[in-house]
Structure 1
């Protein structure tokens, strides 16, 4: 990856780190918050026949993690194009 100048490289990495931190916060809220901290509150609701808190602990957090991987890949590709460092 080769940038035109130092300012573009710094801007790229600032945006990339901001994206990573945002996605990690979402992942932490879903996997830790919904599956452990808020499980009793969420278990009052059902989703596909299961208590919602149980569903997040067993399946939901995994699904969210996989979706976040695809979101990161798409956003990073756009970021690469913005800074002119996309792969061919």
Structure 2
């Protein structure tokens, strides 16, 4: 029974992390690249409008960073629940 509770708690936290990270990615890629593009275009980054930069490059960079954040979070979660081998 304890092992089943551990697994349920583990997956509950895992899904929570996934929802948070995917929400961040959505806000950066869709929000900054499409919805808030006009507002962000008043700021320039490297000579390019910030809205354009997020649509072309920023969301990719954020996605790669989120992958590393997810790996770190999952390593901590594995240790917490004893799934690190």
Q: TM-score, normalised by structure 2?
A: 0.96
Q: Which residue of 2 aligns with 1:30?
A: 28
Residue deviations 1:8-52, cap 9 Å, x none? 111100000000000000000000000000000000001111100
Distance 2:46 2:77 in 1: 37
Q: TM-score, normalised by structure 1?
A: 0.92
Unaligned ranges ≥5, structure 2: none
Which protein is richer in helix relative to its size? Answer: 2
Distance 1:76 1:13 in 2: 11
The reply to whether residue 61 of structure 1 matches residue 67 of structure 2 is: no
Unaligned ranges ≥5, structure 1: none
Structure 1's consecutive aligned runs of 4 or more residues displaced over 2 angstroms after TM superposition are none
**Aligned length in residues:** 84
Structure with larger RCO (C-alpha < 8 A, sep 6+): 1
